[in-house]
Amino acid sequence: MINAIAEIGKYEKTHNPEINSNFDIWLEDSYDEKNYPNLLLIELRSEKNKNDNANVNWIYNQVVYREHSKTLKSKLLYKRGSSRGTDKTPTCRIAASLSGTFFQKIVAWFSDNQEKSLLSDPQKKFIKCVYEEIKHKSEAILIDLDNKLKMIDRGGTVLSVVFLDDDKQKYIGDFDFFAKFITEESELDYKYSKASNNYSFGENQLCAICKKKQSEVYGYFTSLKFYNVDKPGMVTGGFDQSKSWKNYPICLDCALDVEMGIKVIDEKLTFNFYGLRYYLIPKTTNEHARDEVLGDIFDFKKSPRIKDTDRDRITNAEDEVFEILQTEQNNVTFSLLFFEKPQKSVFRILALIEDVLPSRLKQLFDTKAFVDNLIFFQENKDGKRMFQFNYGALRTFFPNSKIEGNHDKYFLELVEKTFSDRRIDYHFIIQHIVYHLRNLFVQDKSIWYQTLESFMLIIFLNELNLFGFKHKEDTMDRQFFDSFEIESKEQLEGKTEFFFDNFKDFFSTDIHCSIFLIGVLSQLLLNIQKNKRDATPFRSKLKGLKMDGRDITALVPEMIDKLEQYDSNYYVSLENLIAKYLLSAGNFRRWNLSVDEMNFVFVLGMSLSKYLKIKSEEPKTEEVENERN
């Protein structure tokens, strides 16, 4: 993956006119896309000795406020350093404590760098003079800073130092030597660790990226938050961190390519996925393919080429890019690195999906199209489609919520398996689906939508053959894309068997079929109760969807009795068909199904009940569609 990031950096260096040197790569923008729109400047004015103009003192003058902008990037020379120490230059972002920021990031910087070897003697004298002045005047400076800060309404604030010389204001970027603290110290960071006080570099060794022998390769390349050598077991040679360069030796030029690549990933290749963020990292076989795919992604990121209303997504994210990636050639693969950054200095990898081919993305979209077009999912409300498959169906049953808990780990594992064509445990999916449906059911909420959503998910995963079921060779009958109705009692048995045969992976035994049909009859009874009494007391008989075989079979005589009481037993043909399947299913004590699977099949029958009832048997005046209520 590091090689792929380096390729992204090379692309940016070639196509970005603002990148002219190594310094441009190391330099950061303290403006940070308008997150820090305010700038406070500690201004010091020059005071020359009357007898010796070369002897200049710097005297604290005032705190100046000005609006921040991207144009000041080369003036302020910002580059982050240690969170507990100083930044690379005396430019910093003000944290929660103004006093802490001032002393830790400004005063300490001038204190620590008075005798830096990269400085000439006059430059050392300059740093020392500034340090003594701001230390001596620190109380007055803090008061002025605080007064200015109180006048700022919103947004973050950057703090730096400026110098007034002959009425001309100079930023630190106007002094050549300040840039050395970025160039020389940034390079030093690659081979020296302050934390362990250790050097790690090799001489005349092969670089792991460019594969060329270089005069120096480095071991402390820590700009990649997910690559580090500060833990035992991550270093070749065990605890000897001086040998960490052997893990992944990187020369200076390649290190800079990776640095640039990291910036590009953060700015242009970060996407959203159901409350989670991920880096999209393409890996290509040649430079032409790299330029083409990165150009397509960046163009899309700036302005999606497809109107939002016409887009075909497999997620709910506005920035979903998979649609355009499916059309790429298979000379590129994609890695998705899911992460979280609870703090600036903390980077946690949640999941890594590697080497996804465009052809796999196309297969996912084709399978989505197959599911979307099934008759059961063509419901409309207010002229809009209610069902269109995306990974939200998976997220529904593997949420991150206060009620059901944090299932991010399972969710990402399952996403990875769908992208990578790896087996998924069918019963594990069913367990989570039923858990979610039970939570809704016991709160007397509708489960119709979520049940059909779960059926979409199950069909999607099965069409990808991720359950490892014996996949049927024949295709789905056209009726399940156009219309599926049972017009008369003579059609009931044949049409029902036809339904089971087309979905035989889920209705593999007569046990499944009988439970499903009992679910159908249960919903039809609930519809009649709702129509007759404006209530559904029979719902309590379903035991919070924790029924076993005994409970489910016991429902049948009770439902027939209730229908007779309401003088509304229009479903004799269905009841006879249930009896036939129950007889074939055998003794419920020997049903080899889990309670979760039985209840899933049952609620699926409830939610698809309108397709399994006979149109001519039930008077239109009695036809009440309450499956959604």
Residues in Cβ contact with 418 at an 8 Å cutoff, skipping those fewer than 6 apart: 364, 424, 461, 464, 466
Helix (H, G, I), strand (E, B) or coil at 381: strand
The pLDDT-based confidence of 51 (bands split at 50, 70, 90) is: low
pLDDT 10s digits, 329-350: 888 999 999 998 877 667 788 9
Q: If you average pLDDT over residues 96-101, what whole number do you get?
A: 93
Residues in Cβ contact with 288 at an 8 Å cutoff, skipping those fewer than 6 apart: none
- Neighbour tally for 455: CB within 10 Å: 24
Q: If you average pLDDT over residues 475-500, what whole number do you get?
A: 87
pLDDT(543) > 50: yes
Q: If you average pLDDT over residues 483-504, what whole number do you get?
A: 90
The pLDDT-based confidence of 279 (bands split at 50, 70, 90) is: very high
pLDDT at res. 422: 95
pLDDT(53) > 70: no
- Of 164-178, 196-210, 398-412, 432-446, where does mean pLDDT reach its minimum? 196-210
Q: If you average pLDDT over residues 429-445, what whole number do you get?
A: 95
pLDDT(6) > 50: yes
Torsion of CA 333, 359, 459, 597, to 10 degrees: -30
The pLDDT-based confidence of 224 (bands split at 50, 70, 90) is: low
* pTM attached to this predicted model: 0.81
Cβ–Cβ < 8 Å for 255, 195:
no
The pLDDT-based confidence of 244 (bands split at 50, 70, 90) is: low
pLDDT 10s digits, 120-166: 999 999 999 999 999 999 999 999 999 999 999 889 999 999 999 98
Q: Percentage of residues in the chain with pLDDT exceeding 70?
A: 90
**Is 494 exposed, middle or buried (CB count within 10 Å of its CB: 0-12, 13-18, 19+)?**
exposed
- Of 375-384, 491-500, 545-554, where does mean pLDDT reach its minimum? 375-384
Spell out the alpha helix ranges (H) of 443-587. 448-463, 479-482, 489-502, 510-533, 549-565, 572-585
Residues in Cβ contact with 26 at an 8 Å cutoff, skipping those fewer than 6 apart: 79, 182, 183, 186, 256, 259
pLDDT 10s digits, 286-336: 999 999 999 999 988 876 555 555 567 788 777 788 988 998 888 899 999
pLDDT at res. 264: 92
- Of 39-53, 152-166, 447-461, 532-546, where does mean pLDDT reach its minimum? 39-53
The pLDDT-based confidence of 624 (bands split at 50, 70, 90) is: very low
pLDDT 10s digits, 381-411: 888 889 999 999 999 999 999 889 999 999 9
Q: Report the chain's mean pLDDT, rounded to a whole number.
A: 88
pLDDT at res. 479: 82
pLDDT at res. 236: 43
Q: If you average pLDDT over residues 549-569, what whole number do you get?
A: 94
pLDDT(93) > 70: yes
pLDDT at res. 121: 94
**Which one has a higher pLDDT value, 510 or 50?**
510
